[in-house]
Amino acid sequence: MSNRKYYYLIAGLPDIIPDDKKLSFSSVQLRNYLQENLHPSDFELVELFYLPWDHENLLKLLYKEQFEWDERGNYSLELIEQLADRKQFEMVDLELLPEYLVRFLEYYHDDEEDFPRSKAVQLLTEGWYSHLLSSGNEFVREYAAYKRNMANIMLALNGRKHDIPYEESLVGDDEVSSALKKSRSRDFGLSNEINDIENIIQIFEIEDILDRELRLDTHFWHFLDDITFFNYFSIERILAFVQKLFIAERWYNLDKEKGQLIFKRLLDELQSKFEFPEEFAITYGKRK
């Protein structure tokens, strides 16, 4: 864990009060703000969480899909276009990229047979999780383990419910994925590894899709609170804030009313949970 403290940065986080028409600021704006105010090694941790949008931008080009550029990716359109082209890829400075992404591209460009999109998604996802799990930051590792476990559990529950083979689609090779492949019990024998597995199963059984998704995001929100409980003004608290903004942004796109409520919740947390020293005063996310 970094010993750097970001009193002024956290005190100066942008306003997060939404209006009726749009969000006050986006995850892209937050990343730009953090790039200007974080130590470079800490900002590299922030960038890790934006990589899935680089995956999507790359896949759209590789599979010649309808092109809608997502600005949440870390890399420029010019670079992604070079990576997607076999000849231009050979001229790219690969040190700019994480190793798993380089391996994926070498594999993709060298494969002479059809390379289905589903296989590409799985390889990128597995590589990304492995990359995060090898991080020197404990928050990043715990986040990756949580997200991978939850994705695998949801996949297994869906497979079991609809009688669809899912074993080959699970990501990773650990105790959780092994249990999901082998066990036929209600909780997949995971009560020791996942202490609230029954709660997760009950969430999955909710019929209303939006309600289920909101419960899953709330579960993740509580997880973020738990693993940053003793972090004050640290990069870990900022990383958790980034994740919560992703949740709020997602819900604003799905359901504006719920999205506004989640943004309000973020604002309330910002004002009440950060224990500012006496020389600081917080008003709507800004230092007086």
Q: How confident is the model at residue 274 (pLDDT cuts 50, 70, 90)?
A: very low
> What is the pLDDT at residue 27?
92
Query: Given a cut of 80, is residue 262 above it in pLDDT?
Result: no
Q: Are 183 and 189 in contact (CB under 8 A)?
A: yes
Give residue 112's pLDDT: 63
pLDDT (tens digit, 9 = 90+) per residue, 6-25?
887 776 665 444 333 456 67
Closest CA to 241 of 21, 25, 76: 25
Q: How far apart (Å, rounded) are the C-alpha atoms in residues 101 and 78?
A: 17
Quick one: tokens of 144?
A: 């990756």
**272 has pLDDT over 80:** no
Residue 15: how many other CB atoms lie within 10 Å: 14
Q: What is the pLDDT of residues 171-206, one digit of tens each?
A: 988 999 999 999 999 999 999 999 899 999 999 999
- Closest residue by Cα to residue 70 from 85, 56, 49, 89: 56
- Cα torsion through 82, 63, 131, 226, rounded to 10: 120
* Close Cβ partners of 240 (under 8 Å, ≥ 6 residues apart): 139, 224, 225, 227, 228, 231
Helix (H, G, I), strand (E, B) or coil at 16: coil
| pLDDT tens, residue by residue, 100-150 | 999 999 999 987 677 899 999 999 999 999 999 999 999 999 999 999 999
Cβ(287)–Cβ(12) below 8 Å? yes
Q: 39-42: long-range contacts at Cβ-Cβ below 8 A with a sequence spacing of 24 or more?
A: 39/2, 39/4, 41/2, 42/2, 42/4, 42/235, 42/238
Rg of the Cα trace of the chain?
A: 20
Give the H/E segment covering residue 185.
Answer: none
Which pTM does this prediction carry? 0.85
| Alpha helix ranges (H) inside 111-190 | 117-133, 138-162, 175-182
**Span 75-97, mean pLDDT?**
93
User: What value does the mean pLDDT of the chain take?
Assistant: 85
State yes or no: pLDDT of 285 exceeds 70: no
